[in-house]
A and B are shown apart, each in its own frame.
Chain A
Amino acid sequence: MLESFWLCNIRGIGAVSVRRLLEAAGGVEGVKNLGRRTMEETVGKKRADALERGREEKCRQRAFDTYYKYRRNGIAFLPLWHPDYPARLKQIADPPVALYVKGRLFLEETKTAAIIGARECSAYGSWAARYFAVGLARAGVCIVSGMARGIDGIAGGAALEAGGRSLAVLGCGVDICYPPENRFLYERLAQEGGLLSEYAPGTLPAAHLFPARNRIISGLSDLVLVTEARSRSGTLITVDLALEQGREVFAVPGRITDPCSGGCNRLIQNGAGIAVSPEQLLKELKTDADRGIPAAFAPAAGLAPLRPLGQKLLKILDFEPKCLDEIMTRLEEQTGAQTACLAEVTEELVRLWMEKRIRCESGRYFIEGPAG
């Protein structure tokens, strides 16, 4: 293991070169004793120099020290040829030559599903992410995501909250929390789930690292679910990669007028599966939905029965956030006369909000989950 770590961390030798060298030498031990000519033939002169420098005792010792340091910090190192290396990932065209893991990998034991989507998501998108993440996680499916803002983070967090398993693939070193606002989720994943990255600990997040990270997300998953994406979303890159890797792609349909769902609807148009419920996806994954649909989405028990005005309001409200004026107009239209007064409607709305039947964001009210 030490030798593998050393090989993967020689300055000036990247993942491709490592793979070539291993092919030429037939193993890590072989690389150590590779002749200069073979080296130059396989990786070129510059890299051969780098390798020779790296073979000096001093460099090797430094690599070993680093390895132990990572071990002490709970970061495991998994080279491509390690038995624990995720089997799904080995199948893809360009698997990462090594993975750094914090927490646990539960890949071999379970089915996996990636839940991905836009960073700037609507209430509907975040609800859908949570709905599917909880549903799948309860049935034992491991949720893979990128721990990004928006959908990714919501899905990962919801899976853990439901007592399920979740993995996050980072675009930086596993010892770095990016984005910083997901600190809580990061800590939780390190404790109860898993964090992995192909980049060495200490690598700072950079824009060019993230697309490569996406191939790992889809590579690790049996199924990729897009909950919300605009028509030109970065999420669609992951979908392309998933299709290349032969993964099942599902999309949550949205309204045709909603630009936030434009990408999802386009995917469906192009033949992606339509995700309607967690059970359907579980069937697709050939897993039993034995534990059923989470109770978290039924309204909390012990609530006071709905007042007549509340019932009317719930009929008017839906996913789309509505402002008070609009609600009033609808109410007047429905009841025919001007029976509603502003104060009463406001009171009822705030009550419903407190009962968690509806939600309010910047002055607009909406229903988060399906009614009832």
Chain B
Amino acid sequence: MYCHISAGGLRGLESYVAQVEVDVSNGLPCFDMVGLLASEVKEARERIRVALKNAGVKMPVGKITVNLSPAGIHKAGTAYDLPVALCIMAAQGMIPAKKLEGILAVGELGLDASVKPVRGILPMVQQGFLNGIGECILPLSNLKEGMLVEGALVMGVKDLGEAARYLCCEEPEREILRKKAKRSVRALPGSETETDGEQTMDFGVIQGMQDEKFAALTAAAGLHNLLYVGPPGAGKTMLARCLPSILPPLGQAEKREISAIYSVAGRLSQGSLLEKRPFVAPHHTVSDHALAGGGAIPMPGLVSLAHKGVLFLDEMAEFKRGTLDILRQPLEDRVIFLAKSGGNFLYPADFMLVAAANPCPCGFYPDRARCRCTSLEIRRYHARISGPLLDRIDLFCRVEPMPFDRLWGAKDAKSSASETESGWDSRLMQEKVMLARERQARRYAQTRIVANGRLGPGEIARYCSLGLSEQQFMEQATQQLRCSARACHHALRVARTLADLEGQEKIRVRHLSQALHYRKGGELYRN
């Protein structure tokens, strides 16, 4: 007796619909699974055998052959347990075989026949829906995730028996069962999103630091990469943690895109769409594979998890040079290309880089009263960050330690100073960012450019045109401040954003000079 059902397979971030075929025929009793399976899929035999027994189903006596097609694609993960078990039950006649048609089943089985959650539900259901398989049976704990795909009929099950009962029903009853399952998960607490467990902070809690806040605002408004340099304890990390709070809120399409990545990484634990922009802050001991994505069929790395969000590198100079150099390609192409034994993969990695670094090994340069680092030591320290990576950073901002009296005194002044930059909070800054982004969106409507920070050299000439006096100013700047051509480009991009922040179409001298302040003035120690 032959029957088949659809299952979801993952290959990197992409998902495909796999067919689970089961045939029970006469012969010596045995249970074979074929279809280029990883060992966890082969082990499914034992899980299924015991689960069926505990669900009160007798294993058919005969030669059971299970094939997962397309048989040429390597299959891994435990999501095939449920479809195989359901198919075996159908092959025994416990479920009418034609009722399995047009159904996608995903789930891991426990020995007690319970159905356990798996990763990658969102892309699987999405892919199934696109292929015309609109009805899915999912583990109950993954149901919320499956419900994110609009239009798909998703059913969550606790155990094998429930799945079988559902399949035996006809449509009106199925609808009732689906609604019941949905009600039960809606009651589950918490739809809080999980982005590395990082809490976003509000810029309002930071007193003073007008310069630093303004740099953050500019970076967010134009999607510029940003580097904070300053002594330990000055607030670099705090500033960076506040940054996601002023980025524009995620659109629905973006939410889906990011959530799919998190689903594949198994980090969408609460089963709802990510609401906040990702903020990924790897420790400086992070391995190359963790950052880029590792494995024969690679799991998304941190650069992909930071997609559409912020990748924050604290203590940038402490990272291994090779690890940092991985970022060069994603920063350029906005995707990461992984060539692995399992094939070539292209993962999205469109993040905003925010980094913090000490100015020297002890951290206090140029405060000569505390810093005794020699120029050689400082140069070596900076040489750890490769030049090409620094070249992709538009904004350099020096973070100064706050004097004690101002730290406390500022609180009293806050009420009166809410109009100035030092009193800015995240809500106000986000509004400014949104306005600037709108201007950019209008300007780049016909192109693929997202924001000013993503302008290429050719596009800079087109969109950052200067008037005569501005041109003269830039010429002077190149000579007097010894700007390289690249530094000029960066300054122009930033100036474009500064003009957008002011709501102006024309770049003025004040925008250029402010951009130069952030590009040239904050530049790392160079001798």
Q: What distance in Å separates the Cβ of A235 from its nearest Cβ neighbour in chain B?
A: 15
**Which B201-224 residues have a C-beta within 8 angstroms of A?**
208-211, 214
**Which B179-220 residues have a C-beta within 8 angstroms of A?**
208-211, 214
With A120-B374, A122-B368, A350-B514 as given contacts, are A360 and B211 in contact (CB-CB < 8 Å)? no
User: Which B residues lie within 8 Å of A364 (CB)?
Assistant: 366, 398
Q: Interface digits, A324-363 against B, CB 8 Å rule (1 contact, 0 not)?
A: 1110110000000010011110110111011110001111
A89 to B382, CA, bound (A): 43
With A120-B374, A363-B522 as given contacts, are A354 and B480 in contact (CB-CB < 8 Å)? yes
Q: Smallest CB-CB separation from B477: which chain A residue? A: A354
With A260-B368, A325-B209 as given contacts, are A362 and B522 in contact (CB-CB < 8 Å)? yes
Cβ contact within 8 Å between B517 and A349: yes
Cβ contact within 8 Å between A325 and B514: no
B168: interface (CB < 8 Å): no
Q: What distance in Å separates the Cβ of A129 from its nearest Cβ neighbour in chain B?
A: 15
Q: Interface digits, A138-161 against B, CB 8 Å rule (1 contact, 0 not)?
A: 000000000001100000000000
Cβ contact within 8 Å between A343 and B520: no
User: Which B residues lie within 8 Å of A346 (CB)?
Assistant: 510, 513-514, 517
Cβ contact within 8 Å between B398 and A363: yes
A240: interface (CB < 8 Å): no
With A324-B211, A351-B513, A354-B476 as given contacts, are A361 and B375 in contact (CB-CB < 8 Å)? no
With A181-B527, A259-B369, A321-B366 as given contacts, are A354 and B397 in contact (CB-CB < 8 Å)? no
Cβ contact within 8 Å between B375 and A325: no
Q: What distance in Å separates the Cβ of B428 from its nearest Cβ neighbour in chain A?
A: 15
Q: Interface digits, B345-388 against A, CB 8 Å rule (1 contact, 0 not)?
A: 00000000000000100000110110011110000000000000
Cβ contact within 8 Å between B516 and A350: yes
User: Which B residues lie within 8 Å of A342 (CB)?
Assistant: 210-211, 214, 420-421
Cβ contact within 8 Å between A326 and B400: yes
Task: For B524, give its contact among A149, A323, A326, A362 (CB under 8 Å).
Answer: A362
Cβ contact within 8 Å between A350 and B398: no
Cβ contact within 8 Å between B366 and A361: yes
A230 to B523, CA, bound (A): 27
Q: What distance in Å separates the Cβ of A213 from its nearest Cβ neighbour in chain B?
A: 19
B521: interface (CB < 8 Å): yes
Cβ contact within 8 Å between B375 and A119: yes
Task: For A259, give its contact among B368, B420, B525 (CB under 8 Å).
Answer: B368
User: Which A residues lie within 8 Å of B521 (CB)?
Assistant: 350, 353, 360, 362-363, 365
User: Which B residues lie within 8 Å of A324 (CB)?
Assistant: 210-211, 517
Q: What distance in Å separates the Cβ of A1 from its nearest Cβ neighbour in chain B?
A: 40
Q: Smallest CB-CB separation from B398: which chain A residue? A: A363
With A328-B210, A363-B229 as given contacts, are A338 and B420 in contact (CB-CB < 8 Å)? yes
User: Which B residues lie within 8 Å of A365 (CB)?
Assistant: 521
- Among the interface residues A328, A362, A365, which one has the most CB atoms of the partner chain B within 10 A? A362
**Which B231-279 residues have a C-beta within 8 angstroms of A?**
none
With A120-B375, A325-B209, A350-B517 as given contacts, are A362 and B417 in contact (CB-CB < 8 Å)? no
Q: What distance in Å separates the Cβ of A319 from its nearest Cβ neighbour in chain B?
A: 12
User: Which A residues lie within 8 Å of B37 (CB)?
Assistant: none
Cβ contact within 8 Å between B510 and A258: no
B509: interface (CB < 8 Å): yes
B176: interface (CB < 8 Å): no
Q: What distance in Å separates the Cβ of B372 from its nearest Cβ neighbour in chain A?
A: 8
A-B contact count (CB 8 A): 99
Give the number of chain A interface residues (Cβ < 8 Å): 37
B481: interface (CB < 8 Å): yes
B340: interface (CB < 8 Å): no
Q: What distance in Å separates the Cβ of A150 from its nearest Cβ neighbour in chain B?
A: 8
B406: interface (CB < 8 Å): yes
**Which B415-449 residues have a C-beta within 8 angstroms of A?**
417, 419-421
**Which A197-228 residues have a C-beta within 8 angstroms of B?**
none
Cβ contact within 8 Å between B510 and A343: yes
**Which A76-91 residues have a C-beta within 8 angstroms of B?**
none
Q: What distance in Å separates the Cβ of A125 from its nearest Cβ neighbour in chain B?
A: 9
User: Which A residues lie within 8 Å of B397 (CB)?
Assistant: 363
- Among the interface residues A258, A323, A350, which one has the most CB atoms of the partner chain B within 10 A? A350
Q: Interface digits, B388-420 against A, CB 8 Å rule (1 contact, 0 not)?
A: 000000001110100000100000000001011
With A149-B375, A325-B211, A364-B366 as given contacts, are A347 and B513 in contact (CB-CB < 8 Å)? yes
Q: What distance in Å separates the Cβ of A140 from its nearest Cβ neighbour in chain B?
A: 31
Q: Smallest CB-CB separation from A365: which chain B residue? A: B521
Cβ contact within 8 Å between B359 and A119: no
With A119-B375, A347-B514, A350-B517 as given contacts, are A325 and B417 in contact (CB-CB < 8 Å)? no
Q: What distance in Å separates the Cβ of A136 from its nearest Cβ neighbour in chain B?
A: 25
- Among the interface residues B368, B417, B421, which one has the most CB atoms of the partner chain A within 10 A? B368
A150 to B211, CA, bound (A): 31
A257 to B480, CA, bound (A): 33
Q: What distance in Å separates the Cβ of B454 from its nearest Cβ neighbour in chain A?
A: 24
Q: Smallest CB-CB separation from B396: which chain A residue? A: A363
Q: What distance in Å separates the Cβ of A261 from its nearest Cβ neighbour in chain B?
A: 10
With A119-B374, A338-B417, A349-B517 as given contacts, are A362 and B366 in contact (CB-CB < 8 Å)? yes
Cβ contact within 8 Å between B480 and A362: no
Q: Smallest CB-CB separation from A125: which chain B residue? A: B368
Cβ contact within 8 Å between B516 and A362: no
User: Which A residues lie within 8 Å of B527 (CB)?
Assistant: 181
Cβ contact within 8 Å between A325 and B400: yes
A257 to B420, CA, bound (A): 33
Q: What distance in Å separates the Cβ of A62 from its nearest Cβ neighbour in chain B?
A: 38
**Which B485-527 residues have a C-beta within 8 angstroms of A?**
498, 509-510, 513-514, 516-517, 520-525, 527
Q: Smallest CB-CB separation from A123: which chain B residue? A: B366
Task: For B398, give its contact among A259, A343, A362 (CB under 8 Å).
Answer: A362
Q: Smallest CB-CB separation from A340: which chain B residue? A: B420
Q: Smallest CB-CB separation from B213: which chain A residue? A: A342
Q: Smallest CB-CB separation from A149: which chain B residue? A: B375
Q: What distance in Å separates the Cβ of B221 from its nearest Cβ neighbour in chain A?
A: 14
Cβ contact within 8 Å between B368 and A120: yes
User: Which B residues lie within 8 Å of A149 (CB)?
Assistant: 375
A341 to B375, CA, bound (A): 35
Cβ contact within 8 Å between A258 and B369: yes
Q: What distance in Å separates the Cβ of A166 from its nearest Cβ neighbour in chain B?
A: 21
Q: What distance in Å separates the Cβ of A232 from its nearest Cβ neighbour in chain B?
A: 11
Q: Smallest CB-CB separation from A348: which chain B residue? A: B513
Q: Smallest CB-CB separation from A353: which chain B residue? A: B481
Cβ contact within 8 Å between A350 and B211: no
Q: What distance in Å separates the Cβ of A234 from its nearest Cβ neighbour in chain B?
A: 12
Q: Smallest CB-CB separation from A257: which chain B residue? A: B369
User: Which B residues lie within 8 Å of A347 (CB)?
Assistant: 509-510, 513-514
- Among the interface residues A325, A329, A349, A365, which one has the most CB atoms of the partner chain B within 10 A? A325
Residues of A within 8 A of B (CB): 119-120, 122, 149-150, 181, 257-260, 321, 323-326, 328-329, 338, 341-344, 346-347, 349-351, 353-356, 360-365
> 4 other contacts beyond A361-B366, A363-B397, with CB at 8 A cut-off?
A120-B373, A150-B375, A258-B369, A259-B369
16 contacts between A and B (CB under 8 A): A149-B375, A181-B527, A323-B400, A324-B210, A325-B209, A338-B417, A341-B420, A342-B210, A342-B214, A346-B513, A349-B513, A353-B481, A354-B480, A361-B366, A361-B525, A363-B522
4 nearest CB pairs, A to B: A363-B398, A350-B513, A324-B211, A347-B510
